[in-house]
Structure 1
Amino acid sequence: MTSQTQDALIQLMIVAASSDTNMTEREFTRIKALIGRLPVFEGFDIERLPDVVNDCADKLNGGDGLDFLIEDAIAVLPKKLQDTAYALAVEVTAVDLHLEQEELRYLEMLRDKLDLDRLTTAAIEVAARARHRRLPQ
């Protein structure tokens, strides 16, 4: 796994978390937990995370913005990691079990650019909701 591929996955998660203009502590904690736990991030130096976040901000603030960031990230992802990229983005947005309109729009944009069928993306979304569900109060 190249650091470029790992950076792309992280940047897609960062955009997912900040797509509603407010990255919560819960979302950022989830991103760090996923980086620390998942095999796809094996060997990633967590000390590089601030640099990856800054690079993400630079791309978003550049002339092409969000479309460029998504396309740039997908370009470095092996095809077999496209479902992983979508699952990570959904995982981050599902943390609080309430998706704002902007988060839903970002996931739709990502879905449209990835080479994934609708059944796969629906399964990823349902699984994320199931993992984050809490007991009724």
Structure 2
Amino acid sequence: MTEPLDHHDALIYAMVTTSAVDRAMTDKELARIGQVVSHLPVFDDYDSSRLVKTAEACGELLGTEGGLDRILLLIRSAVPKKLGETAYAVALEVAAADLDVKPEETRFLELLRESLDIDRLTSAAIERGIRARNKVL
């Protein structure tokens, strides 16, 4: 995608990048992206037929020189301040989907948190909520 992202695309870029940053997009991560898009109110007015095209564009950009930095800039530019925490939370949902958060995913989440200017207390609360939602025995 060469045009600016809208907030939906930016949220999807955050999720896809979280999944792809370790070079292994698992079925559970992909399914979680679909679940988030299907169930969260922020996507109620989203045309889900765009999801695959948007995810592919994100993947292509991620594979280019400086792609990760460009993705973070695109996300920061397209996510309204009031959706910053949502962007961080949906990215965390994808990281937690397979119950195995890789170091590359952790690093991307740190960069995303910084890029969206989410303070440590808020991010810790979001992380704790995601952790609680994904606990298994």
Q: What is the TM-score normalised by the length of structure 1?
A: 0.91
Alignment of 1:43-82 (within 5 A): 43-82=45-84
Percent of pairs identical after alignment? Answer: 44
Match of 1:96, SS?
coil
2:22 aligned partner: 20
Q: Deviations over 1:91-119 (max 9, x none)?
A: 11011222111111111111121111100
Deviation at 1:84, TM superposition (A): 0.4
Query: What amino acid is aligned across from residue 15 of structure 1 in structure 2?
Result: T
1:110 aligned partner: 112
Query: What amino acid is aligned across from residue 104 of structure 1 in structure 2?
Result: T
Deviation at 1:4, TM superposition (A): 1.3
Q: What is the TM-score normalised by the length of structure 2?
A: 0.91
Provide structure 2 residue ranges, at least 5 long, that are not aligned to the other structure: none
Count of aligned pairs: 133
Match of 2:57, SS?
helix
Whether 2:39 is the aligned partner of 1:37: answer yes
Quote the Cα distance in structure 2 between the aligned partners of 1:132 and 1:53: 24
Q: Which runs of 4+ in 1 moved over 4 A?
A: none
Verify the 8 A CA contact 2:26 2:98 in the aligned structure 1. Answer: no
Query: What amino acid is aligned across from residue 129 of structure 1 in structure 2?
Result: R
CA RMSD of aligned residues (A): 1.3
Deviation at 1:120, TM superposition (A): 0.4
